[in-house]
Each structure stands twice: as C-alpha cells, then as structure tokens.
Structure 1
Amino acid sequence: MTLPANKDVELSMSTARGTSKYVAVREHLLTRVQGLEPGARLPSEPQLCDEYGVSRITLRHAVDGLISDGYLVREQGRGTFVVEPQYRTRYRERFADAVTGFHSQQTSDGFEVTTSVVELAEFPAGEPTASQLGISSADRVARLTRLRSVNGTLHHLAVTDLPVSRFPGILDEDFTDASLFSYLGETYGVSLKRNDLLVSIKAADEFIAEHLDVALGECVLAVASTVFDADDRAVSYGMAYFTPQNSEIAFGLHS
C-alpha cells in the first residue's frame, strides 16, 4: 500500500507563514503517516518534492526526521514505510529537581518498567570508577549491568558500580524488575541528594551493539552518572547507553 497524495498540500504549505519549509513538510507528513496502517509506503522522493514544491534536500531532511523519531523506516531498494506503532513511543528520562531513579520516575508516570539483569559481580574499581567514588582503584565494587525496558520497549543499557565495603549485601540481591535506589534507601538508609551527569555520543562497541540491538559503530547517547547522598558522599557511578529510536533525555534548570 502506498501513501496517497494529498490535494491540500499546496494550501497547507502556503499558510505555514513564519515556518520553514522543512518544518512545514515534516508536520504535514507526520499528520498523514499517523493515520495510516503499518506497512504503508511513501511515494518516491521526486513525487513528494513535486507535491510539496520543495527541493530534494528539504524533503530528505523532513523524512529523515520522521525516521529518527520512529514513524518511518527506509529500506534500501524498496522505499520508505510506516512502521509499527510501538516504535513510535519515546520514553523520556528527566533530570531536574530531584534524584528519583529511572524506575520510580517511569512508574510514577504510569509506565511499566521491566529489568533484565545481565550481570551482578564483584570487580576491582579501576578508573574512572575509583575517582568518581573517591576510593582506591584496587577497592572492590559491585558492578550491576541491566537492560531496562518501558512498556515492553527496550530503553537503555545501564552499568552501575557501587562500593562493596559500603553495601556488602548488594551482591546477594536480585534486581530483576526492582529499583536499585529504593533498595539502597530501604536497606542502608541512603537519601539521594545530587546526580552529576556527563552526556556524550558514543559509537556502539560490540558489548553495546549486542545488548541494544544496534549496528556496530552506530551512535548512541551515553550518560555518565555519579550519584551522591545527603552527606555529599558518592553512592554510585555508572554509564547508561540509550537506544536512539526509543529514548529521550530531558534536563530542567531552576534558580
């Protein structure tokens, strides 16, 4: 099935005053694909360029944006297609006024969080974990590696290091579908105060590519996180790698 032509395009484009052609095309295309069944195919780029009266560069920019947002998929040699609805939802993790943890944040928004524990084992801290936690590189940490999903959609891969000397019982815990920060609060009385973040783009190595089901070398969003308690003592240090098609990161700054 092919995406039908829309006779109101010229009118819609001409009334989008103050809006760039790219934005106008993207918004119009979005409205059209949202009403279609998965598997519907877009007309060719030349057809859409003629329909919207824009250059191929502008049209490609608009389509690429909808592909990035999970509404469309481009198949080499076949065309561009509307995809299944579950790939259209991006679940946002917010970093603002309070350190709540991913599990608590998503469940409070009404979403179901599921966790698969890839590994929970003891390792020497090494760097940069030792520097971030304020311990020796030879000190032992519990390394918790998890795949987190929201409403059944894979969201991110999280690798978290915690000092074993401070949390000796952590290696015996099962964090499948459980909140790490809730456990620390309930078992050790930890009150979270601050979360220092460093956001970067990383090319997926074999470990990330395998677990996030992305191509080797594909760019993913990487967030380094050091969490502190009310006494300004480092509680955990970790890296989270987010799937580009299903995840968003939001920051809130308040004075």
Structure 2
Amino acid sequence: MTATPGYQQSFVERGDDRIGLRSYPEPTGTPEAPLVLLWPAMGVRAGYYQPFVAELRAAGLAVVVVDLRGTGASTPPASRVSRYGYPELVGDVGAVLESLKDRIGDRTTLLLGHSLGGQAALLHLALGGQPVDGLVLVAAGMPHWRSYPGWRRHLVRPAAEFIRGVAAVLGSWPGWGFGGRQARGVMRDWAYTIRTGRFPRLDGVDAEAAVRTVRTPVLAISVEHDQLTPEQTLDRLCAKLTAAAVRRERYTAAEAGLRLDHFTWVRASAPIAARVASFAARLRAG
C-alpha cells in the first residue's frame, strides 16, 4: 500500500449544519482522473478510509471522502434536538456534488457508498439528484431481517426495534456498541428498512418505486463474512435495480489474504480499488 498524502479539509454549508469533505490531491500522472466520492458507513469517520484512499489513488483515481452528517467533521452531532433522517442524508449528497462541480467538470464521476453511505448515494440518484457516471456499492445492502442467514435473522429485527425505541425515548441513539451516536430520525428510517425490506417515503416521495427507475450503471461488491450486510442483503438491493446495468461481484478472504468483515476490508482494499478503477475505465470508454 502506498502512503496517503495530506488532504484538504473543506465544508459544505447546509443551513445551520455543515458537511465535512476530505479532498485528496490528484493521483500522479493521471490528468483528469476519474473522481470517486466516497460515502462512509453509519458512524464511521472519513479518516478510517485512509488505507482505501491510498489504494484508490494508486489505481489512478481522484478521491474525496465525506463525513456523514453528525459524524466526524460534519455537524450537527446527534442530540435530542436533531431532527434529521434519511431525507437529509440524501440531500447532503446533492449538496456535495454541487459544491464539487468545478472539480468534476467533464471527468468520469463515481459515487461509492459503504453500507449506509451506499443507501444514501443510491437514493440520491433515485430521487432525481445530480447524475453521475456510476455507482459503486461496497458492503451495502437492503438489510431486511428475512435476508439474514440462519439464526441471525431472528436477532436483527428485535435489535433494530430496540435501537429505534431507545433513540425515540432518549432523543438520539447513544451508540451503545453499534453505529456511533445517531439522530433518532436516522435510526427510525434504518429500522424501517430492516422491518419491511423497503425504503421509507422520503419527503412524500415513494423512494421504493423511485429506486426501480435508476439507470446509472452499478458495481455492487459484497464482502465475505460481512456480519452486518451479508451478501443476501446486497442481492436483495440489487434486485430492486430493475432499470440499471448491475455488475455483481464478491470479495473473498482468500483474495484479501485476511479474514474480512463489514469493516476490515478497508485494510486490504487493493483488489477492490482495482475493480473500481476498471469499472471507471469501462464507463469512460463507453
């Protein structure tokens, strides 16, 4: 893995809130490199993806990593007064793309989402947000409780309802062993997807139906031994993308050279970065 250079921290203002961006230098020797805009998992700070950023840049890709609302450099921190949920997370995607329009220019641009970040990126496209050339989903999915294998399916739904209930009573989810501190609206919408296997209505829009209209090419990568979004959940999400060309792939522990899970793939992400670069090249050629 190559060293990751320093980044430029900037912010996108969203009313009284702001979204933090880490913009990394252009990869050496790759003018107008494809741009990857990386959206993290729930409660995961942008800095966690440093090893992945290094591999993406080594593969010839420009990278910007966003802190999800309420996490890392982004505000507001979740509290009793935080009212935001999925609609605001989705709106943040559009605001960040708008802020980067000068850097994007005519270059190939990908939204790359890990877990919750993948859902936000997909819903941005579904709800008619600014178009991009491709969408990459890594360890993401529709976490319907029935999609989980074996005994886990019997734990996922009650766990989600417990988290939703605690967030409703306390005003936010304290982050007890899962997801970091989160606004109650985020946990409400997340729990809905687990209970129903569908996206909630967002600002009056049937997001579930809207997802079926997305035509942006998709690279969907599941991770072996992913305990939070096993491959069956990604299969369920891909099944909703009836209008899009979906390239479905799996990343295995044998390929990585270490045991993988929902988070540790970032430490051995060179093969995933290579797949993203190949996907971007195909889009550019097309």
TM bin (shorter chain) = under 0.3
Whichever of the two has the greater Rg, that structure is 1
Q: How does the TM-score come out when normalised to structure 2?
A: 0.25
With a CA cutoff of 8 Å and minimum separation of 6, indicate the structure with the bigger relative contact order: 2
Q: What is the TM-score with the length of structure 1 in the denominator? A: 0.27
Which of the two has greater helix per residue?
Answer: 2
Structure number with higher strand proportion: 1
